[in-house]
Amino acid sequence: MPIEIMTRRPETWEVIRLYRAAGLRRATHDPEMIARMITGASLVVSARSDGHLVGLARSITDFCHSCYLADLAVDPCFQKQGIGRSLVLRTKHEVGGTTQLFLLSAATAETFYTRFMELTPETCFQIARTYPAGPQAG
């Protein structure tokens, strides 16, 4: 079955299913937060097989200078087929050539990204998120 790469925002339930399948540590227990993550993103590139969501790249960008790729998820049943790379490259195409694309990688994904992205030694700073009382998933 061919994989379609598109800039169509998926439904919240589809994203939750994909994030859980891919093992992304996101607040999948909170559909409202996931919905806000998708609607608040500047760009969402999705991969579908036979209509089913099998991959997603979610980014925040100004479409001229900087693009932060916040999430990249591919269903494990569809990994090792070039879908993740296609999602990243389509994201780069959509934001334009003058836009710098950057991301923070999980240690387990570093090898994947180094195949087609440049590792930069720049320092990253953060202010950690806080959660209301209740179940937490980072």
Q: From CA 122, how far away is CA 124, in angstroms rounded?
A: 7
In a domain, 47, yes or no: yes
pLDDT at 92: 94
- DSSP alpha helices (H): ranges in the chain? 12-22, 31-40, 83-95, 110-114
In a domain, 133, yes or no: no
Q: In what order do the strands lie in the sheet with 100-102?
A: 3-6, 43-49, 52-61, 66-74, 100-102
In a domain, 122, yes or no: no
Residue 136 is encoded by which pair of tokens? 């937490």
In a domain, 125, yes or no: no
DSSP 135: -
In a domain, 22, yes or no: yes
In a domain, 132, yes or no: no
Local confidence band at 133 (pLDDT 50, 70, 90 cut-offs): low
**CATH code of 12's domain:** 3.40.630.30
In a domain, 49, yes or no: yes
Tens of pLDDT, residues 23-49: 888 888 999 999 999 999 999 999 999
Number of domains in the chain: 1
Q: From CA 88, how far away is CA 96, in angstroms rounded?
A: 12
| Entry pTM | 0.84
Residue 126 is encoded by which pair of tokens? 């953060």
Q: From CA 33, how far away is CA 131, in angstroms rounded?
A: 11
Instruction: Provide the domain limits for residue 91.
Output: 3-114
